[in-house]
Structure 1
């Protein structure tokens, strides 16, 4: 396996790094509060980055999301790409692709996904009933991809009759909302549970990539702090305990990155990757939590300041940990998958 980015992927990553670096500053994040940075989202879409994902693949999207995670930029890039662009492009009909993709590419439409863990949504003759306690970026979304209890996928317009959205504040500022469905007419996407498994695997991989960036950003801040902060006349970074904690965080971050790259690489080559996506999600959940805790602890008393930039990485890391699922649940699902006959299939 060769994870070296193609020229197109590298160019897209470089452009994303520049845009996030220029616009997702600490001052702008403070001004945005818990909402989305609409100007930054407009800039990303004007640069063609969401639409480019159809060409640069899931690995290319992971590279973009790493750059977002480094700056904790408040835009619905992951959700729109995996639950919108990649889902419709991979599983939609020709008519659905022609109708839905242009608005998702230019950012006038925003997608998210509602995948209840325990069958919170049921379908009766194409009408959806139930709800999901919280859905990321739902307050920004024009469309939400809903998985019902039978693992069928439905595209729902957020403004449709019977849809209710109630604002929910989460650990990270993801513009989340509680989704209610009361007889909502959904538009089917794909057929059978295979499409649901594929979208879920892609979303796990993408959000694991976002976690890799969050961890890299947290660690970079910790390294800068410990290299310049002195104690007893020498930098904190010269203390063995600090060095070991930072080294462990670096290894955890690299583990998240390489497992995520493998899952994305396999998906782009149309190889089975459901197990690899679960592995990446496990590392992102378990190791990601360790890294953002280490980043905050290595700042000492400064890390306890809720207004310090490193605290934002801590909040994002914990939110991604919760969104991807706890490690024990992911390991159980992975074990069941390995023991099943789906191991060699493509999700």
Structure 2
């Protein structure tokens, strides 16, 4: 295993760190409230960081999401790159890539994913040349009418499209203007919504031939789901690193009984445990992303990093808040945002016990992809 970033990945990470640090300050986040920062999104897309994910791969995206997590910047970066850029690049037809990627690269189109634990959306074939695919120039593009609801879809209120798996794990792209979007408030300010599909037109991601040629049912679904778990684990690594950085800064400057809080053994032990947990999330995310990019078996690695991000991530953000004492409960304090993001990522990834059960099943089957 070699997790050493390439020159392109390192350059992109440094640029992302500078943009997030400059444009996602505490004051700017307070001004943004619970919505996304459109100016920051324009800056990221204008700098080519969204487009760069095509070249730097999932590992490159993980590095960029670490920088976002450090500042809890409110932009749909993870969602649009995973469910949009990477999903279309890996699983779209040539015509879909040509039509969809330009808008995803410049940020004028934003894709999110409606991936509940148990997909329940129903798809009824609608023939060809209708719905989303109409006028696309793709002869034989498969379309369907989708029905069902998905609660708590992150960044749905920012999205122009949403990637939806049906009951058979086939992936469909739906324009949000063709669906019902009801605002939902999550623990973290992720501009979430409830997706309501009532015969909404959907376009199959990829072709029927491509799906039939893949070994195993639902291969594209599993591939995108794994990429999302790895990406959001990378985001959690950054959230935890940011929380810990705030805690270190606070405990080294705040004094108790005439000496800094950081010199007390209990504080040192909590901070050390939080550092080790953060590094565990980071290294497992790197390994899973590296395996994904290299075409190596990734199922167990993706579940492992998701489990660390959920289980250890919750511990770290609780520690960060605890080490701030009363300040940690201040809703206007930066560390409180990391707490909210850490808890939201725990819920979004699927909770540690569920992930551990899924990992156990994967190991027992011995069918790592």
Distance in 2 (alpha carbons) for counterparts of 1:119 and 1:43: 35
Please report the RMSD computed on the Cα atoms of aligned residues, expressed in angstroms.
Answer: 0.8
* 1:30-73 CA distance string (max 9 Å, x none): 00000000000000000000000000000000000000000000
Q: TM-score scaled by structure 1? A: 0.97
Shift in Å, 1:304: 1.4
Distance in 2 (alpha carbons) for counterparts of 1:116 and 1:179: 11
Shift in Å, 1:272: 1.4
* 1:122-161 CA distance string (max 9 Å, x none): 112221110101100000000100011111100111112x
Q: What residue is the counterpart of 1:183 in the other structure?
A: 199
Aligned length in residues? 342
Q: What residue is the counterpart of 1:11 in the other structure?
A: 11
Counting only pairs closer than 5 Å after superposition, residues 85-234 of structure 1 correspond to structure 2 as 85-125=85-125, 126-160=144-178, 163-190=179-206, 191=211, 192-234=217-259
The answer on whether the counterparts of 2:174 and 2:201 sit within 8 Å (CA) in structure 1 is yes
The answer on whether the counterparts of 2:322 and 2:328 sit within 8 Å (CA) in structure 1 is yes
Q: What residue is the counterpart of 1:51 in the other structure?
A: 51
Shift in Å, 1:341: 4.8
- 1:316 and 2:341 matched: yes
The answer on whether the counterparts of 2:117 and 2:350 sit within 8 Å (CA) in structure 1 is no
Distance in 2 (alpha carbons) for counterparts of 1:71 and 1:14: 14
Change (3 A) 1:15 1:124: same
Q: Secondary structure at the match of 2:197?
A: strand
Distance in 2 (alpha carbons) for counterparts of 1:165 and 1:246: 41
Distance in 1 (alpha carbons) for counterparts of 2:293 and 2:119: 29
Structure 1: 5+ residue stretches without partners? none
Q: Secondary structure at the match of 2:248?
A: helix
Moved more, 330-339 or 7-16: 330-339
Q: What residue is the counterpart of 1:274 in the other structure?
A: 299
Q: Secondary structure at the match of 1:159?
A: helix
Distance in 2 (alpha carbons) for counterparts of 1:77 and 1:157: 18
Q: What residue is the counterpart of 2:79 in the other structure?
A: 79
Q: Secondary structure at the match of 2:149?
A: strand
Shift in Å, 1:342: 2.5
Q: Which runs of 4+ in 1 moved over 4 A?
A: none
Counting only pairs closer than 5 Å after superposition, residues 231-250 of structure 1 correspond to structure 2 as 231-250=256-275
Counting only pairs closer than 5 Å after superposition, residues 320-331 of structure 1 correspond to structure 2 as 320-331=345-356
Distance in 2 (alpha carbons) for counterparts of 1:116 and 1:172: 18
Structure 2: 5+ residue stretches without partners? 126-143, 212-216
